[in-house]
Structure 1
Amino acid sequence: MKMGMRGAAASVLILAMGTTGVALSQQPAAAPAAAKETSNLNSKQKLGYAIGGDVARSLEAIKSHIDLAAMREAVQATFDGKQPLITQADAQKTDTALRTSMAIANGQQVPGQAPGSAPPKVDNRQVGLMLGSYMVGPSLAELKGDIELDALFDAVKTAFDGGQPKLSQEEGAAILQSFMATKQAEMQAKAAQLGQTNRQEGNAFLAKNKTVPGVVTTASGLQYQVIRPGSGERPLPSSKVKVNYEGKLLDGTVFDSSYQRGQPVEFGLDQVIKGWTEGVSLMPVGSKYRFWIPGELAYGENGTQGGPIGPNATLTFDVELISVQP
């Protein structure tokens, strides 16, 4: 949940537009229905019904093509960490058939289809598996501990059948808003705690590391060590450079490596984190340095969205300067 979170409200818009090409706002609004009594529902059920209502509204245009049992099966498999129940190739074929069938049904001319030709056959089970495996399941996987799937699919089925929902659209929206606000507060508190821990661990590491022979600490707090000296020119902070590099967390986890990709990279030193701008400017061409970059010179309090670099994380980089361009 990286905000944040891939919440239900966002995922359903992807479903509506990605599958049918029809924006949610273009679909006819459903007539409001009175909600059933909800006092006996627990929080997971309420969230399931709220999300299910959104999913149903997003998929209204293609509901006749969806096998809900198959979609439920695929979502459950995703929640359980299993492989998708339909291959990407078959999902693509199903998506194409569905798009073509919908376009023809709406009187649109489809390239490659003769005017007046019958729409292609759409396998409803395949559609359900496609939606569950590649759209609904992945979009909601991070919420799997917060929702009840029975409630979610009961809401979808009720809506598809034109029945009376347990939650009105307004109630569902309020539940989603409250849930996302609570989750965001939890995430912010967790990030703050992690940021404090990372800062403390980084400071302790750097304090010890600066006593290692050969390690130099600059005024900014950047630390470096010359692994291989070079004799070429040094870049300016505004120069474009070509480098090979590998970045690690303090626990040794490699999070980025041009060596692994088998190809050096080029970029301007004014386009990277502060620690890189300062550090690489110290290097002559042909040299290889190791840098230890404190969090405030790296990705700061935000880290990288979705990881793997946490807030205030101290990073290690091995950098090999290949060339400098004006």
Structure 2
Amino acid sequence: MRRLLAIALLLLVVPAATRAQDTLPAGAPGGQPAQPPQLSPEEFNQMVSYALGRSIAEDCKMGGVTLDARAMQTGINEVQGNRPPQWTEQQLSQAMQMFAMKIQQQVAANNKKAGDDYLAANAKKEGVKVTPSGLQYKVIKQGTGATPTDSDVVVCHYKGTFINGQEFDSSYRRGQPAQFPVRGVIDGWTEALKMMKVGDKWQLFIPSELAYGEGGQERIGPNEALLFDIELLQIAEPQARPQQ
């Protein structure tokens, strides 16, 4: 679960790695945002305070910190009373950076286990092939064209999802195929492209070490296994070199 405080901390002090786009609120039909309940100002404040309390407690648990409710209340009282903090801003910032790093490490460990478990089960499914590197793929449609090499530039349609099925990127949704060098993408893609033929459509199941690894990337969390539908449309014509 992407928790409120963890996201805020990671945005401030570590690479943004746990965000995902196009997440629908629970129970919201057809892409329409859920309507907030009709609350009095007092009820609204209570609900927000309660939600923040749960979020902070969950993040502390994830980061291996035993929440000191008294110290937290002191910090709240100081802010509300416009009183100076008991530690310097530098000390507080360093503590929060260490806390965010602990959360990041725990998220990475959770993602790695979830990805490994998923891939172990997926490897047993009919039609799924596994390469020595750990890349898994399934041929959906076979093409008859040429196979790209390291030096080629390819044109592909693709859709990327997390192991829970949530989409994070899609050239289909943009209505425009993507063009990129074979060596200019994640290792799992490069390996697959050099086995595919133009006209092929494959499903890829990529372990984190062949994707974005421990660092993640923007909407990709640390150590996340990724799934792709990829369609190799063509090998781009090499650009003519300018005359000397």
In 2, the alpha carbon distance for the partners of 1:245 and 1:146 equals 51
In the other structure, the counterpart of 1:314 is 225
Distance 1:280 1:303, change over 3 A: same
Is 1:198 equivalent to 2:205 in the alignment?
no
Distance 1:248 1:179, change over 3 A: same
Whether the 8 Å CA contact 1:237–1:278 is kept in 2: the answer is: no
SS in 1 for 2:92: helix
Structure possessing the higher radius of gyration over alpha carbons: 1
Tell me the amino acid that sits aligned with residue 5 of structure 1. Answer: L
The aligned runs of 1:272-291 (5 Å cut-off) are 272-291=185-204
Taking every aligned residue pair, what percent have the same amino acid on both sides?
Answer: 38
Q: TM-score, normalised by structure 2?
A: 0.63
Q: Displacement, 1:6?
A: 6.9
Q: Displacement, 1:316?
A: 0.2
Tell me the amino acid that sits aligned with residue 312 of structure 1. Answer: N
Which structure is higher in RCO with an 8 Å CA cutoff and minimum separation 6? 2
Q: Displacement, 1:293?
A: 0.3
Distance 1:199 1:151, change over 3 A: closer
SS in 2 for 1:5: helix
In 2, the alpha carbon distance for the partners of 1:228 and 1:205 equals 24
Runs of 4+ in 1 over 4 A off after TM superposition: 145-152
1:51-105 CA-partner distances (Å, limit 9, x unpaired): xxxxxxxxxxxxxxxxxxxxxxxxxxxxx8xxxxxxxxxxxxxxxxxxxxxxxxx
Is 1:303 equivalent to 2:189 in the alignment?
no
Is 1:239 equivalent to 2:129 in the alignment?
no
Q: Specify which of 177, 191, 205 is matched with residue 90 of structure 2.
A: 177
SS in 1 for 2:137: strand
Aligned length: 173
Whether the 8 Å CA contact 1:4–1:184 is kept in 2: the answer is: no
Q: Displacement, 1:4?
A: 4.5
Distance 1:2 1:244, change over 3 A: farther
The aligned runs of 1:43-58 (5 Å cut-off) are none
Whether the 8 Å CA contact 2:9–2:96 is kept in 1: the answer is: no
Q: Displacement, 1:297?
A: 0.5
Structure 1, gaps ≥5 residues long: 8-79, 81-144, 156-165
Q: Specify which of 229, 236, 249 is matched with residue 142 of structure 2.
A: 229
Normalized per residue, which structure has more strand? Answer: 2
Distance 1:263 1:219, change over 3 A: same
Tell me the amino acid that sits aligned with residue 12 of structure 2. Answer: M
In 2, the alpha carbon distance for the partners of 1:2 and 1:323 equals 43
Q: TM-score, normalised by structure 1?
A: 0.48
Cα RMSD of the aligned pairs, angstroms, is 2.8
Tell me the amino acid that sits aligned with residue 220 of structure 2. Answer: I
Is 1:256 equivalent to 2:163 in the alignment?
no
Tell me the amino acid that sits aligned with residue 290 of structure 1. Answer: Q
Tell me the amino acid that sits aligned with residue 216 of structure 1. Answer: K
In 1, the alpha carbon distance for the partners of 2:231 and 2:212 equals 21
In 2, the alpha carbon distance for the partners of 1:243 and 1:188 equals 36
Normalized per residue, which structure has more helix? Answer: 1
